[in-house]
């Protein structure tokens, strides 16, 4: 009998990082199916290829560049790949998408030290890179519902509801916004399907409500005030349902690695994201501000964590 010497506790919960990542992938799948339905086969292809190549790239970096020979895939590369796919336009050629993915995982994650070490959400780093490198591809949108087999290049282009509103004062129907039958990045358009996925994550206790609630709540308050002052800013419901807010608030800002640890910190983080998003939407040059506000708040997380340290049991108030 060979007895092992182990450290207490000698029991562990079954849960692990892979199960967390798998749940995130499952939670994103309704929106992926929606993307395929609204934007066709290429959208579906980008999602699947994004997840697969993301994970493969992660394995490659860990095994061959960083020399971790017994590296066990954890699914985080797949999550980043899928999220990046959901954050791009279907007009983006695959080679450009791959470049963005390599940038996302390479610069967004591995230069910081890999899983858990990155400051910024890797998918958003990739998206920012693509937006700057390929602005035309990234901001040309296809009309939803052109049919599954239609090539994205042949589909008529459309503006996003936010751009339509900001530039031409045209409103999109709330129902179309809610179910996602509008122009936009392939996974961001359907509030309904994103919420369904998010509820799954909530029920599995993978995320907490604090960041989405404070983020969306702030957008609601901010846009209400702006709307009351001047209706040209758009009404609150429109701001909630359009653009990348739902995808950002439910799935990007909630990334564990790049958001604060404590509940208080998460609320502060969410409020910051909300304020910045609205500031960019209302006063900025871009019609959309979700990704940049999350990236900016990512940078503040160490600071937020420092000032929201929980009070140790038995610590005197003050």
Q: What own/partner pairs with CB < 8 Å and gap ≥ 24 does 17-24 have?
A: 17/74, 17/75, 17/76, 17/115, 18/73, 18/74, 18/75, 20/75, 20/206, 20/256, 21/74, 21/75, 21/76, 21/78, 21/79, 22/75, 23/200, 23/201, 23/204, 23/206, 24/79, 24/201, 24/206, 24/251
Q: Is residue 116 at the binding interface for other proteins, with CB under 8 A as the rule?
A: yes
Does 95 contact other proteins by CB under 8 A?
A: no
Q: Which is nearer to other proteins, 185 or 259 (CB)?
A: 259
Please give the helix or strand (H or E) that residue 158 lies within, else none.
strand 157-158
CB of 68 to other proteins, least distance (A): 11
Q: Which x/- pattern over 14-33 shows residues binding other proteins (rule: CB under 8 A)? A: -xxx-xx-------------
> Which one, 68 or 279, has the nearer CB to other proteins?
68
262 binds other proteins (CB under 8 A): yes
Closer residue to other proteins in complex, CB, 140/262:
262
| Residue 52 binds other proteins, judged by CB under 8 A | no
Of 30, 34, 54, 114, the one binding other proteins (CB under 8 A) is 114
Integer Cα distance of 46 and 131 in angstroms: 17
Q: Is there a cis peptide before residue 183, judged by omega within 30 degrees of 0?
A: no
Give the Å distances, CA to CA, from 244 to 63, 121, 194, 197, 267. Answer: 34, 15, 11, 15, 20
Is 318 an interacting residue with respect to other proteins (CB under 8 A)? no
- Give the residue with the Cβ less far from other proteins, 1 or 132: 1
Under the criterion CB under 8 A, does residue 317 sit at the interface with other proteins? no
Contacting other proteins (CB under 8 A), which of 67, 136, 231, 315? 315
Q: Please, what is the minimum distance in Å from the beta carbon of residue 50 to other proteins?
A: 20
* Closer Cβ to other proteins, 72 or 303, answer by number: 72
For the CA atoms of 57, 60, 63, 67, the dihedral, rounded to the nearest 10 degrees, stands at: -100
CA 153/CA 93 separation, integer angstroms: 9
Which of 281, 247, 212 has the alpha carbon at shortest distance from 83? 247
Which of 66, 93, 117, 153: binder of other proteins (CB under 8 A)?
Answer: 117
151 near other proteins, rule: CB under 8 A: no
Q: Does 115 bind other proteins (CB under 8 A)?
A: yes
CB of 207 to other proteins, least distance (A): 10
- Single out the residue of 107, 220, 237, 256 in contact with other proteins (rule: CB under 8 A): 256
- For residues 198 and 257, is the Cβ–Cβ distance under 8 A? no
Q: Quick check: 313 binds other proteins (CB under 8 A)?
A: yes
Measured in whole angstroms, the distance separating CA 135 from the mean position of its chain's CA atoms is 19
309 contacts other proteins (rule: CB under 8 A): yes
Is residue 303 near other proteins by the rule CB under 8 A?
Answer: no
Interface residue list for other proteins (CB under 8 A): 1, 3-13, 15-17, 19-20, 72, 74, 76, 113-117, 256-257, 259, 261-262, 309-316
């Amino acid at each position: 009998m060979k007895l092992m010497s182990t450290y207490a506790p000698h029991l562990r919960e079954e849960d692990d990082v892979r199960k967390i990542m798998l749940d995130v992938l499952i939670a994103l799948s309704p929106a992926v199916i929606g993307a395929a339905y609204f934007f066709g086969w290429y959208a579906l292809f980008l999602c699947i290829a994004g997840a697969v190549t993301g994970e493969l790239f992660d394995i490659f970096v860990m095994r061959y560049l960083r020399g971790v020979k017994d590296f066990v895939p954890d699914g985080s590369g797949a999550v980043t790949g899928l999220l990046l796919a959901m954050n791009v336009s279907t007009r983006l050629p695959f080679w450009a998408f791959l470049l963005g993915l390599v940038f996302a995982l390479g610069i967004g994650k591995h230069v910081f030290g890999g899983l858990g070490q990155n400051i910024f959400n890797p998918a958003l780093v990739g998206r920012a890179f693509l937006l700057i490198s390929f602005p035309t591809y990234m901001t040309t949108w296809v009309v939803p519902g052109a049919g599954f087999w239609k090539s994205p290049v042949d589909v008529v282009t459309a503006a996003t509801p936010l751009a339509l509103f900001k530039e031409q004062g045209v409103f999109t129907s709330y129902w179309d916004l809610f179910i996602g039958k509008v122009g936009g990045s392939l996974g961001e358009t359907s509030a309904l399907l994103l919420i369904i996925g998010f509820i799954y994550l909530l029920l599995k206790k993978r995320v907490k409500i604090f960041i989405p609630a404070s983020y969306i709540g702030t957008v609601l308050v901010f846009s209400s005030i702006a709307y009351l002052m001047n209706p040209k800013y758009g009404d609150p419901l429109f701001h909630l349902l359009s653009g990348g807010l739902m995808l950002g608030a439910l799935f990007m800002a909630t990334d564990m690695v790049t958001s604060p640890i404590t509940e208080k910190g998460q609320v502060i983080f969410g409020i910051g994201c909300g304020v910045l998003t609205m500031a960019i939407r209302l006063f900025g040059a871009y019609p959309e501000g979700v990704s940049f506000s999350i990236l900016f708040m990512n940078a503040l997380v160490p600071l937020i964590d420092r000032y929201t340290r929980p009070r140790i049991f038995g610590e005197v108030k003050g």
